Amino acid sequence: MQLRPEIQVDIEHHRVNFIWQDQHSLSLSHQALREICPCGFCKAKRMQAKQVVDDMAVQVTAIFDQGYGAQICFSDGHDKGIFPWIFLRELNGD
């Protein structure tokens, strides 16, 4: 199984699509991606039942391949989250 998916950014519908070689796919809105950010800061906020995202119109501004996952940068300035491929593969889309 290939861990690294093809990534398609759908700017018009504000979604990011992850498509693995075996045709498994995941489609998430920019907002959903920001809310599930796996970085320590965002995890701590979720554990404290605090809101992770203040800007409901948050957009993905850049995606960088980090080998084991994707660093996703957002319009609210947050860029610390690296979304491991295996983490994304195990998610259900919104």
Question: For residue 94, is pLDDT > 60?
Answer: no
User: Using 50, 70 and 90 to split pLDDT, how confident is the model at 92?
Assistant: confident
CB contact at 8 A, 72 and 35: no
What does the alpha-carbon distance between residue 69 and residue 72 come to, in Å, rounded to a whole number?
9
pLDDT above 80: residue 64: yes
Flag whether pLDDT at 93 surpasses 70.
no
Domains and CATH numbers, the chain: 6-90 (3.30.2020.30)
pLDDT per position as a tens digit, 10-56 = 999 999 999 999 989 999 999 999 999 999 999 999 999 998 888 77
Asked whether the beta carbons of 75 and 87 are under 8 A apart, the reply is no
pTM for this prediction = 0.88
Average pLDDT over residues 55-61: 89
Contact residues for 69 (Cβ-Cβ < 8 A; gap 6+)? 82, 83, 84, 85, 87, 88
